[in-house]
Amino acid sequence: MEIFAHADTWIALLTLTFLEIILGIDNVIFISISANKLPEDKVKKATLLGLALAMVTRILLLFSVSYLIALKEPFISINWGWFKSDITGQSLILFLGGLFLLYKSTKEIRQKVENTNEKQVLKSPKVISFKSVIIQIILIDIVFSFDSILTAVGMTNGIHGALTIMVIAVIVSIIIMMIFSQPINKFVHRNPTIQMLALSFLILIGFMLITEGAHLSHTKIFNKTVGVIPKGYLYFAIAFSLGVEMLNLKARKKVK
């Protein structure tokens, strides 16, 4: 395909696939916790089915969000003198998505620092019905899909063939999680800084979505137009941070 002749496409695809895997770790953990309430012979089936449902949920959300982002005509104009903006469906989705990512990432960081999130889930009532577990997994998938989809939109917005890149990244990441769900789970548990790093990336992406939404709505604050954050800066920050973290992991391994 023509879009894969560009370096930006491959950088976006590889980066997004990696982030989708890291951001899907919580989903894998919660699915595993739910599936472990079943008899042992049904745990693997429930886990794989749960991840397959996660993939379907994310792809459906991708198409719906992409449709909303295509709404580029202003539906409301604001002029408060010092603040001017022509709000479109596209800018509103990006702005609200950015706020959601900021909220979700800071909340997740706080929970991980306090180490209470998984304990609360483990204390939940036991479920023995396969159907009940699958319903619970579907609800979990929907909740965890929002930050994943908004991250995908933030990473690929403005890139030619963005929807194709997002769908491929989601499918590849889910397949990898299906194959390596247990090793991935153990790796992240051994190296919690990896997930903390991904949540920090979410904060960056959240700010980028907010500024991009403000830019697309031609927002002016005190007659100063809000600009956009070049994605190259974001890619560089992510690549540099990952490189440093890989060196840290190697150094800690040698110390051990």
In the structure, what pLDDT confidence band is assigned to residue 197 with cuts at 50, 70 and 90?
confident
More confident residue, 211 or 104: 211
Quick one: which of 131, 154, 171 has its CA closest to 46? 131
Instruction: Name the residue type at position 40.
Output: E
More confident residue, 4 or 59: 59
| pLDDT of res. 196 | 79
| pLDDT of res. 66 | 67
Inter-CA distances, 25 with 74, 90, 103, 149, 242, Å: 38, 29, 18, 15, 17
Alpha carbon 54 to chain centroid, angstroms: 13
What is the pTM assigned to this prediction? 0.62
Instruction: Name the residue type at position 25.
Output: I
Tally of structural domains, the chain:
1
Contact 160, 4 (CB under 8 A): no
Instruction: Name the residue type at position 145.
Output: S
| pLDDT of res. 124 | 47
The pLDDT tens digits for 158-172 are 677 777 888 888 888
Inter-CA distances, 234 with 133, 151, 226, 241, Å: 38, 12, 18, 11
| pLDDT of res. 97 | 77
| pLDDT of res. 169 | 85
Does the pLDDT value for residue 138 go beyond 60? Answer: yes
d(CA 185, CA 68): 34
Contact 50, 203 (CB under 8 A): no
Point out the least confidently predicted range of 33-47, 217-231, 238-252: 33-47
The boundaries of the domain holding residue 117 are: 2-255
Q: Strands of 224-225's sheet, edge to edge?
A: 74-79, 83-88, 220-221, 224-225
